[in-house]
């Protein structure tokens, strides 16, 4: 009686290949051409790449600070009461968002037109 058949080995190899492909796509970040958009009340107020590393504030929003670091972006300071947006931390995968609802602001990561979801 065999413990592992050829069909089992094929299934294991396919799962490992799928896992490696997922890791490769998730770690694409800045290299894949991803960028961020800051949207305030439905209007894009700033769009930029995930490189170079920098910290910045928006005109008219001195109580909010943002940082781009390691191919990701985050809200690092906010005047909202619960600071959920700050605790969200850095995002960098296309489709991710970080929102500050009291200020009507969100950051979203936009891909370069490649694969943006894995099922």
Domain of 84, CATH number, reads 2.60.320.10
Calculate mean pLDDT across residues 70-78.
94
Calculate mean pLDDT across residues 59-81.
93
Question: pLDDT over 70 for what percent of the chain?
Answer: 84
Q: Is 90 exposed, middle or buried (0-12, 13-18, 19+ CB in 10 A)?
A: middle
CB atoms within 10 A of CB 109: 21
Q: Say yes or no to pLDDT of 99 above 70.
A: yes
Where residue 30 falls among pLDDT bands split at 50, 70, 90?
very low
Calculate mean pLDDT across residues 74-92.
94
The model carries a pTM of 0.68
Q: Which domain holds residue 49?
A: 1-119
Count of domains observed in the chain? 1
**What integer pLDDT is reported at residue 77 of this predicted model?**
96
Where residue 90 falls among pLDDT bands split at 50, 70, 90?
very high
**What integer pLDDT is reported at residue 38 of this predicted model?**
95
């Amino acid at each position: 009686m065999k413990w592992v058949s050829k069909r089992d080995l094929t299934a294991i190899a396919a799962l490992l290949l799928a896992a490696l492909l997922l890791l490769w796509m998730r770690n694409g970040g800045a290299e894949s051409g991803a960028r961020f958009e800051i949207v305030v009340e439905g209007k894009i107020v700033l769009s930029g790449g995930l490189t170079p590393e920098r910290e910045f504030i928006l005109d008219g929003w001195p109580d909010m600070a943002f940082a781009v670091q390691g191919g990701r972006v985050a809200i690092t300071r906010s005047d909202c009461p619960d600071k959920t947006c700050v605790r969200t931390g850095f995002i960098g995968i296309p489709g991710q968002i970080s929102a500050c609802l009291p200020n009507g602001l969100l950051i979203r990561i936009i891909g370069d037109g490649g694969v943006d979801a894995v099922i």
